[in-house]
Amino acid sequence: MGLSKSVPADVKRPICDFCSSEPGVFRYPATTFIAEGLSTADYAQQSIGDWAACATCHAMIEGAEMASLTIRSLNFLCQKEPTYEPFREELYQEMFMLFRQFRQHRCGEPTPLRFEAVHPAPRRVRHVQQQLPKTTKRRPLSQRSTPGGGTMRERFTDFCVYTIKHSDDLVQGRSGTFHEKRAWVTGKRLLEEAKRAKQVLPVVFCPAEGTKYLYAWAVLRKIDITEDGTNYTFEKLRLFRNPPPLKTTMKRKSDRKPLHRNFIRPYAICVTPAFLK
């Protein structure tokens, strides 16, 4: 679109809320709605207000090509996050439902996005690629460690602890101690073995309010089993970049099968995923 040529370099252009890959050139007025396919009984995902669409997505919306629009968006998503590839079918259904809801909640004709305006961007929409639990600023994984940069790199154990915690508690860079109601007997043993082998035992977190995606990880330093569960001490919590890996990419230690999408228990021993390394 010619529009993009007139955009001053210092103005941030909103990204397309459908494919998340090209700048939006149209604004679709829409009312806020609960995204049914992405919400659970206790965790509602909202689409807030207007949507931005790039030229390609705009043409597909106008042509009512919702399946093509979904495939386009899904392709970009899987390109950005290859671990989503095995879950295309499921993600397709969710996205298709989301876009269908968008059509139902559209409340006017699209207008060109004017970047020179003081408020150029539509209000941020929580799209399937952006609705992931708490879209606060995440530091890219590439910045989380310093290969060859001063500190000695620690080796991970083959297995890790998987747990859940409300995302409010999972703050980038945090070190501390959390309590969990289960007795982490195997976790404690793995930590002792790790220390003897001069390795580190990672803990991977899902947000307790919605366990579809992984959220963060840290290194376990201490595990104390108490009368009513476990106190575990961790260091240097790191948030996964957006889009984060799905929980189902975690494989159980016992049979190497992926954690089921409906698995909501707060404790599992898993194979340490390659994306931590």
Interface residues toward Zn ion, by CB under 5 A: 16, 18-19, 54, 57
Q: Which is nearer to Zn ion, 54 or 239 (CB)?
A: 54
Question: What is the Cα Rg of the chain in Å?
Answer: 21
How far apart are CB 23 and Zn ion at their closest, in Å?
Answer: 9
Minimum Å distance from CB 271 to Zn ion? 36
User: Which residue, judged by CB position, is nearest to Zn ion in the bound state?
Assistant: 16
- The minimum distance between CB 53 and Zn ion, in angstroms, equals 6
User: Looking at beta carbons only, is 23 or 210 nearer to Zn ion?
Assistant: 23
Pairing between β-strand 159-165 and β-strand 199-207 as defined by DSSP bridges: parallel
**Residue (57 or 190) nearer to Zn ion, CB:** 57
Distance (Å, rounded) from C-alpha 169 to C-alpha 182?
Answer: 18
List residues bridging with 246 in a β-sheet. 213
Least Å distance, CB 52 to Zn ion, is 8
In the complex, the smallest distance separating the C-beta of residue 20 from Zn ion, rounded to whole angstroms, is: 7
Closer by beta carbon to Zn ion, 57 or else 270: 57
Indicate the residue among 1 and 48 with the shorter CB distance to Zn ion: 1
Residue number, 61 or 239, with CB nearest to Zn ion: 61
- What is the Cα–Cα distance from 46 to 39, expressed in whole angstroms? 8
Nearer Cβ to Zn ion (202/243)? 243
Supply the minimum distance, in Å, between the C-beta of residue 62 and Zn ion.
13
**Under 8 Å CB-to-CB from 49, ≥6 apart: which residues?**
30, 31, 32, 122, 123, 125
- Separation CA 138–CA 216 (nearest Å): 10
Minimum distance from residue 76 beta carbon to Zn ion (Å): 8
